[in-house]
Amino acid sequence: MAWNDERVELLKKLWAEGLSASQIASKMGGVTRNAVIGKVHRLGLSGRAAPAKPQRGCDPESRTEEVEDTQTYAMKSVDSLAAEPEFTAPAVLASGDLTTVATLKGNMCKWPIGDPAKDDFHFCGQSAPAGKPYCPYHAHMAFQPAQRRADRPMPPQRLARDAAKRRAAS
């Protein structure tokens, strides 16, 4: 693919941000890592001092912020690759209640919703495909690439066990 002004600007920008040649190549698409390196040399950009380091200080707070930025970025790129199935609202049982540890059955989505320590904690409860723990929406949420796993709740088995323990105690 030809290097038009726009792509050269993008290359310069990504290079200045400290991305590696292969990262730039995959971001831009249509170019190989070698093509990126070659262009960088021709543009005289190769004298980059060091990979861009966070400008922020070293206090733990700003570090957290940085991690979040990375996650947000990761989420965006993941979302652009895979369309998210439509949101599924939690199932409401015939009794009018939401699905709890007591009413959760094998074929229901075990995605935990809310704070397990609170009374309104429940499970998604929508029907899950045979042999699968989650409905299609939550299966999609559960099997995100590693970057998104921080957003995932605790495994349902553990939540159920904790809830059962609490019930036994009260």
**Rule CB under 5 A: which residues touch Zn ion?**
109, 111, 124, 126, 135, 138
**And the tokens for 78?**
């993941």
At closest approach, how far in Å is the CB of 104 from Zn ion? Answer: 11
Task: Please state the closest distance from residue 123 (CB atom) to Zn ion, in A.
Answer: 8
| Residue 146 beta carbon to Zn ion: minimum distance, rounded to whole angstroms | 21
In the complex with Zn ion, the residue whose CB is nearer, 15 or 112, is 112
Residues 6+ apart with CB under 8 A from 74: 145, 147, 148
- CA 103 to chain centroid: 30
Q: Residue 4 CB, nearest distance to Zn ion (Å)?
A: 46
C-alpha to C-alpha distances, 39 to 35, 46, 84, 125, 132, nearest whole angstrom: 6, 9, 37, 54, 49
CB of 136 to Zn ion, least distance (A): 8
Nearer CB in complex with Zn ion: 39/99: 99
- CA dist., res. 152 & res. 4, Å (int): 42
Please give the C-alpha separations between residue 50 and each of 47, 53, 84, 98, in angstroms, as whole numbers. 9, 8, 37, 54
Bridge partners for 108 per DSSP: 127
Rank residues 149 and 165 by Cβ distance to Zn ion and give the closer one.
149
Q: Nearer to Zn ion by C-beta: 70 or 107?
A: 107
* 25 vs 99 by CB, closer to Zn ion: 99
